[in-house]
Structure 1
Amino acid sequence: MSGRTPTNGYTRRDGDGRKERLITRDVVLIMAATFFFMTASMMSGPIIAGFAHTLGANGALMGFIAGALSLAALFCRPVAGHLSDRTSKRVLAVVGGALYLITNVWYAYASNPASLLAARIVNGVGFACISVCLSTWLSTLLPLSRMGAGMGLYGTMNALAQAFGPDLGIRISKAVSYRAAFLTASTMAVLVVVCVLCIRDSGRPYAARAARPADDGRRPRLSALFEPKVIPIALIFMMFGIPYFANQSFIVDYAARMQVPFGVSVFFPIYALVLLAVRIVLRNWFDTKSFRFFLTLCTVGDVVMLLSLAHLRSFWMLALAAVMTAGGYGLMSSVTQAKAVLIAGKARSGMANTTYYAGIDLGMFLGPLIGGLLFSGVPIAWFYPALLVTMPVAWAIYLPFRRTIDGATSRE
């Protein structure tokens, strides 16, 4: 055949060289659904521990409740990845959105730590379903030659939500109440479901089930849980996620202990705006520059970010840290996700995204955990410098697998 048409024609590539445009109605709706669901998730991130404390949780239980979502998501992702490669993504996304709606209302009316913990676990199931589903759905609508640009836009929605969500949750909880913040997040979940139901593409599996080799059932394989070739990418991104989520959880307490004379919540909006500009300016680089190039660039960004926060003496150091976060963690989020799909191929895009998001889950869990240990166990001046160790570890993971990672191209 001279061409092929996955799903309903959005990535058609024919012998005459005609290429379907990158931005379509369905792509925009998936991007919008992604923004709303991630905003809902990030709104609860910086306030859930404080809310647990008001319900009577002690310090250890506060931390466990905060991390329960990512732990639940980590264990559910293999199942979600299989379902996204084998069933309708529309159904899976609606289920995930509905769970987000239910759990945020549950948060608002939880009366004790046990109830809050149960809601957090259910929220993790919804997070696993919808995050893998939407990213996989989008990847089937993009031509491989534009995968970097397309996933870059998707990553922008994630990163913007991760920047605005925490700030919005903190502001509403302080100005009104925790309950108001959770109910606001529940309205975001409603918008997720609305966007998903408006998508024309049915989200059916990209590869026919008959085309997959049959499982003889003799022994469990790693590929049944994750995409093995993508694990190094997920671990590299986890190394960038640990400093980001440690900072997200402790920047307010760090600033208070360091007696910083200005508000630090503006860090997140600055990060979001700079990230948006970076994604626009560098949109053509995602499909042309090597992974090593981006890893070098993002490493520099993270190092400067951590050093800037370690010397937080003025607003301009905070602004510099936010800018460098966009050039570090923010940029790497898109690069690693696009590379994961290219390495695995579209038929395994669900498992590729499952593996990629497992890296996020681990970063979301280990970041606050390590941050808490550092915050209470080392002099406060060493909080951010200690996190610098994640960067050489990221390179130590990359170097043994550089041929596989750099060898993945956008040829269909």
Structure 2
Amino acid sequence: MKNPDERLITRDVALVMLATFCFMASNTLSSLLMAGFSESLGASGAMMGLVAGMMSLVSLFCRPIAGNLSDRASKRLLVGVGSALYLISSIWYATASSPVSLLLARMVNGVGFACCSVCLATWMSLLLPIRHMGAGMGLYGTTNALAMALGPATGITMHRLIGYRHTFIISMVMAMLMVISVMFIKNGGHPVAKPAPRRRFSLRSIVEPRVVPLSLVFMLFAIPYFATQSFIVIYANTRHLAVEVSLFYPCYAVALLIMRIGFRDWFDRKSFRFFLVGCSAAMLGSLLCLDLMTGNVLLLLAAVLMAAAYGVMSSVTQAQAVIIAGKARSGIANATYYAGIDLGMTLGPVLGGMLYGGVPIAWFYPLFMLVMPAAWLLYAASAGYVHGGGAGSAV
């Protein structure tokens, strides 16, 4: 009979994944609507991008602190604080009357996002046996990605039916469900490492240095993904495309679920370089499909390729980050990994807003293709440092 401590899926693991789904669904539902909602309030193209990216910009600076705290304090406490901030920001969205007010609400949301994302990921890594870390974080990433797909699809559909403001109430309900699921987790996520004596501040207290290059590589995958999330509806409307944009995210979710379940053992066996080759090719294919699409066939193909690119790469990078750092520093490792997402979530919408307002819309996706060669150059320059310190060969 399998040792309970060695099982991949336990009651607590399932509840953390449920909390993660509610958290990310709440976040992505509202984030997709930010550019369009701010435009309806009178924002310019640049302001639309700034509003969409502000949550991630704030989270970028708060996340190292949250990562450090997650290795020292109860995860339940920190997730509770983050959930409360999510509720506040959701109510604020529903009542905002100007782009500036919306920008301030995004800042509050950013602090909550930093607390919840790092702590939930760290909590998950503490509940998993190290030999199942790749497969477990792959399932965690699948939950994350499903929410990141279904949240936007819900937002697109519901804002057409009930308007922007009432749709934000759905986001608030999801945040409340997250709080409830966290309350039923038995293991409160107390620190693994013993409290250390106070030391002088160092870079290692807020980031895991060897994870930084991988985080930046993943940032370059996140930039086109989050630009698409913020502007795909506006892009399709501006080009007068006969496509049903709401199909993109469910298709993405189904494709990613199949891929992550099918590839789950590969996450513990194949190298990071192996996934980088395949995922970067898929990203270029996805962006090309979005550029050329005139109907739903290429839209759906773009969604499948985006799942093979951004979706798979997120699990690969996060698992490698935890393996490099070890469980005692898993909070800081996850914070470093999420810093790449924060940068991508910030730069994607901001660059998207600049392109939307500054160049012909036909150049939107061709220009975003330039990030993949940059990802390869960055990895080639840093691979020796990242993998040369005794990291496991898996991922």
Q: Does 1:231 align with 2:212?
A: yes
* 1:261 positional shift: 1.8
1:243-291: CA deviation from partner (whole Å, max 9, x where unpaired) = 1111112222222333322222211110111001111111111101111
Cα RMSD of the aligned pairs, angstroms, is 1.9
Q: TM-score, normalised by structure 2?
A: 0.94
Instruction: Decide which of 16, 24, 37 is 2:23's aligned counterpart.
Output: 37
* 1:215 positional shift: 4.6
Structure-1 residue corresponding to 2:296: 315
Q: State the alpha-carbon separation in 2 of the partners of residues 119 and 379 from structure 1.
A: 31
1:104 and 1:186 in contact (8 A); partners too? yes
Cα 1:17/1:121, change in 2 over 3 Å: closer
1:56-112: CA deviation from partner (whole Å, max 9, x where unpaired) = 444433332222111111111111011100000111111111111121012112233
Cα 1:354/1:194, change in 2 over 3 Å: same
Unaligned runs of 5+ in 1: 1-15
* 1:21 positional shift: 0.7
2:215 and 2:336 in contact (8 A); partners too? yes
* 1:410 positional shift: 7.7
Q: State the alpha-carbon separation in 2 of the partners of residues 188 and 257 from structure 1.
A: 31
Structure-2 residue corresponding to 1:13: none
Q: State the alpha-carbon separation in 1 of the partners of residues 348 and 303 from structure 2.
A: 17
Q: Which amino acid aligns with 1:67?
A: G
Determine helix, strand or coil for the equivalent of 1:201. Answer: coil
Cα 1:19/1:243, change in 2 over 3 Å: same
Unaligned runs of 5+ in 2: none
Cα 1:162/1:18, change in 2 over 3 Å: closer
Q: Does 1:77 align with 2:63?
A: yes
Q: State the alpha-carbon separation in 1 of the partners of residues 231 and 37 from structure 2.
A: 16
Structure-2 residue corresponding to 1:375: 356
1:40 and 1:188 in contact (8 A); partners too? yes
Q: Does 1:365 align with 2:340?
A: no
Q: State the alpha-carbon separation in 2 of the partners of residues 215 and 399 from structure 1.
A: 37
Structure-2 residue corresponding to 1:256: 237
Cα 1:23/1:91, change in 2 over 3 Å: same
Write 1 or 2 for the structure with the bigger share of helix: 2
1:147 and 1:410 in contact (8 A); partners too? no
1:221-264: CA deviation from partner (whole Å, max 9, x where unpaired) = 22122111110111011000011111112222222333322222
Determine helix, strand or coil for the equivalent of 1:261. Answer: coil
Q: How many residues align?
A: 391
1:179-206: CA deviation from partner (whole Å, max 9, x where unpaired) = 2111110000001100111000021001
Q: State the alpha-carbon separation in 1 of the partners of residues 288 and 307 from structure 2.
A: 15
Which 10-residue stretch deviates more, 265-274 or 109-118?
Answer: 109-118
Structure-2 residue corresponding to 1:247: 228
1:342 and 1:410 in contact (8 A); partners too? no
Q: State the alpha-carbon separation in 2 of the partners of residues 66 and 325 from structure 1.
A: 20
Structure-2 residue corresponding to 1:409: 392
1:339 and 1:405 in contact (8 A); partners too? no
Cα 1:114/1:380, change in 2 over 3 Å: closer
* 1:54 positional shift: 3.6
Structure-2 residue corresponding to 1:149: 135
Determine helix, strand or coil for the equivalent of 2:266. Answer: coil
2:47 and 2:353 in contact (8 A); partners too? no
RCO greater where, 1 or 2, for CA within 8 Å and sep 6 or more? 2
Q: Which amino acid aligns with 1:353?
A: N
2:87 and 2:176 in contact (8 A); partners too? yes
Q: Which amino acid aligns with 1:294?
A: F
Q: State the alpha-carbon separation in 1 of the partners of residues 327 and 222 from structure 2.
A: 25
1:144 and 1:410 in contact (8 A); partners too? no
Which 10-residue stretch deviates more, 55-64 or 70-79?
Answer: 55-64
Superposed, 1:386-405 pairs within 5 Å as: 386-405=367-386
Q: State the alpha-carbon separation in 2 of the partners of residues 127 and 216 from structure 1.
A: 28
Cα 1:183/1:193, change in 2 over 3 Å: same
Structure-2 residue corresponding to 1:269: 250
Q: State the alpha-carbon separation in 1 of the partners of residues 170 and 23 from structure 2.
A: 12
2:52 and 2:350 in contact (8 A); partners too? no
Superposed, 1:133-282 pairs within 5 Å as: 133-210=119-196, 214-217=197-200, 220-282=201-263
Determine helix, strand or coil for the equivalent of 2:365. Answer: helix
Q: Which amino acid aligns with 1:191?
A: L
Q: State the alpha-carbon separation in 2 of the partners of residues 286 and 194 from structure 1.
A: 31
Q: Does 1:98 align with 2:98?
A: no
Percent of residue pairs bearing the same amino acid type: 56
Which 10-residue stretch deviates more, 257-266 or 195-204?
Answer: 257-266
Q: Does 1:285 align with 2:271?
A: no
Cα 1:58/1:384, change in 2 over 3 Å: closer
Q: State the alpha-carbon separation in 2 of the partners of residues 317 and 117 from structure 1.
A: 34
Structure-1 residue corresponding to 2:102: 116
Q: State the alpha-carbon separation in 2 of the partners of residues 315 and 59 from structure 1.
A: 27
Structure-2 residue corresponding to 1:53: 39
Q: State the alpha-carbon separation in 1 of the partners of residues 315 and 41 from structure 2.
A: 37
Determine helix, strand or coil for the equivalent of 1:45. Answer: helix
Cα 1:52/1:370, change in 2 over 3 Å: closer
Determine helix, strand or coil for the equivalent of 2:260. Answer: helix
1:289-321: CA deviation from partner (whole Å, max 9, x where unpaired) = 111111111011101111111211332111111
Greater CA radius of gyration, 1 or 2?
1
2:46 and 2:357 in contact (8 A); partners too? no
2:90 and 2:168 in contact (8 A); partners too? yes
Q: State the alpha-carbon separation in 2 of the partners of residues 249 and 398 from structure 1.
A: 27
